[in-house]
Amino acid sequence: MSADAAMNFDDLKSLRHKKHRDRLGFFFAEGEHLVLELGKALSRRSDLAAARILVSEEYLAAGLPPGFPRQLAIETLSARQMAQLSETRSPQGVIAVVPMLTTPVPRVAERAIYLHQIQDPGNLGTILRTLGWFGRFRCLLSPDSVEPYNPKVVRASMGAIFEVPFEIDVTLEEVQNRYSRIALLDIRGSSIAENSFKDFECYMFGSESRGATAEMRSACDSSVFSVPGGQGVESLNLASTVNICAYELSKALVLS
């Protein structure tokens, strides 16, 4: 479905729910920052051309900011209509209706970050933001992971959802078939400061609640690494662990 008159206001309201996002093939990117980031991505991504922008009458009256994607269709809504669509307590008055994203083919020297059953939308959004900052990373999500088009994920990504290639419903078996060198991040393992940490194609991370599973340990062929530390604190937040690892790997990617 194209994001035009074929999608009525009831359809737009339904995009607040995953099953209707899947049905219609669109998601919301709410707020001025995300809309401006969408505008920056338009020249690089043809799959975003069908996006449209919803603005409140008050937002439009204040004047569109520099960098606003005026090349996209813009529709004006009342403040009441905007409040019905918004996921925030204080709507900014601007929402992009964005088609679900296609996945670019892998790039040279790209590293894959595999997240197994990640549940927290804030964690996923933060991870995408980090991977977008460093570049040359691909995010793979296992079945039963939080949906990347969840509004909380999109907001926390701060626009990185338009930059980081990601794939959903990727099984451990698929990871093993695609990558010959796989590493696992777990509580007990070799330090990520070791040079060997940078020699893998895919890095796996367990869920917030369960951590690494036996199946994940089997898939990585005993190549297990940890972030040094643990002085009085049981474990790192998942997003923090990915962030630290991405920083370590980015130093190798710069040199490659």
pLDDT in tens, the chain (256 residues): 445 546 899 999 999 999 999 999 999 999 999 999 999 999 999 999 999 999 999 999 999 999 999 999 999 999 999 999 999 888 999 999 999 999 888 777 899 999 999 999 999 999 999 999 999 999 999 999 999 999 999 999 999 999 999 999 999 999 999 999 999 999 889 999 999 999 999 999 999 878 888 889 888 877 999 998 866 556 789 999 999 999 999 987 655 5
**Is the whole model's pTM more than 0.85, yes or no?**
yes
Residue carrying the six token digits 């670019």: 104
Question: Is the CB of residue 48 less than 8 Å from the CB of residue 41?
Answer: yes
Q: Which amino acid is at 63?
A: G
Question: Is the CB of residue 24 less than 8 Å from the CB of residue 14?
Answer: yes
Handedness of CA 141, 145, 149, 153 (dihedral sign): negative
β 94-99/111-115 pair status: unpaired
φ/ψ (deg, to 5) at 148: -65, -20
End-to-end CA distance of the chain: give it in Å, rounded.
42
State the Cα angle at 44 between 38 and 48, rounded to 5°.
50
Q: Work out the number of other CB atoms within 10 angstroms of the CB of residue 70.
A: 9
Domains annotated for the chain, with CATH where assigned, are 9-99 (3.30.1330.30), 111-255 (3.40.1280.10)
